Structure 1
């Protein structure tokens, strides 16, 4: 990540990244945000949710691994773990370089998730599940629809792994904002929903590109 974006996150969330410049024997945050600029907005959303949830949470390491975002932190609970895992799931839809909608890319054995401009294999992955849904779900834009599928996938996996009842997801676009209701969810589901909703409302529902907040330049 560019030094200026790295520093912007550090200044915005000083308690969360209190170990950003600490000794490498203590924390891996000393190596900075080990990923591309395209995930800046996603990391910003994660940071905001973690900080609001528990002011004592500190980041241990933020990096790309096997193509997706990994956000290690402590202390942990069901909500914060959900935010972490939801960010990992969601990052597979976001180009690590530029934030545009992404597809899986294999390059010399390395896995990454990149957009049309940065991914030579993008069109080979165009047969994703979203294309069988007449381009949208619940009257949502293309990218929000992809996000919703990914959220449902995460919620289904959570229910299977923990042998809990399936969660019913409903989503609506109200005056340009995404609202998601999860019936039957627990703290984990709440964390996952919060992450997806917060990110969705920071990007264009069709293109997936970040909507730059007034007065804030992202790069």
Structure 2
């Protein structure tokens, strides 16, 4: 690889990294999602990938596709976002929604990562009680 190609690849890597604002534990989930999205719409674009309220948020545009493909595209994103609540954001092991403090930060974590970060499992996420 020549210097110009190397610099171009590094610039793309830096640009892509700015889209991702979550820990590495969801890497396999995101990689699988991207493979499936690319199969539906090879030219799709990513706006942002982040953690919010303990779950994955994946913002992308399907591009110029028909309505059926567009629906499937966004259904795949929704499925991955839902799965993220069962995967530790830090290490990728099975996890559950956890919270630091009564009204604190939410993250989906395995018991080991939760303990090391002073998070506790949210007992009943649906009712708002712990």
Deviation at 1:31, TM superposition (A): 1.7
Higher RCO (Cα < 8 Å, 6 or more apart): 2
- Give the alignment of 1:142-157 within 5 angstroms: none
Q: Deviation above 4 Å: which 4+ runs of structure 1?
A: none
Partner deviation per Cα, 1:6-32 (whole Å, 9 max, x = no partner)? xxxxx8xxxxxx7962xxxxxxx5624
Give the number of the structure whose residues are more often helix, by fraction. 2
Aligned to 1:52: 39
Deviation at 1:75, TM superposition (A): 2.7
Matched, 1:86 2:79: yes
Matched, 1:40 2:35: no
- Aligned in 2, Cα 1:30/1:37: closer, same or farther, shift over 3 Å? closer
- Give the alignment of 1:139-178 within 5 angstroms: none
Partner deviation per Cα, 1:20-61 (whole Å, 9 max, x = no partner)? 62xxxxxxx562411011000001001101111111211111
Q: Normalising by the residue count of structure 2, what TM-score does the alignment of the two structures yield?
A: 0.69
CA distance in 2, matches of 1:63, 1:79: 21
Gaps of 5+ in 2: 1-8, 64-69, 125-130
Deviation at 1:114, TM superposition (A): 0.4
CA distance in 2, matches of 1:89, 1:20: 28
Count of aligned pairs between the two proteins: 103
The secondary structure found in structure 2 opposite 1:42 is: helix
Q: Normalising by the residue count of structure 1, what TM-score does the alignment of the two structures yield?
A: 0.43
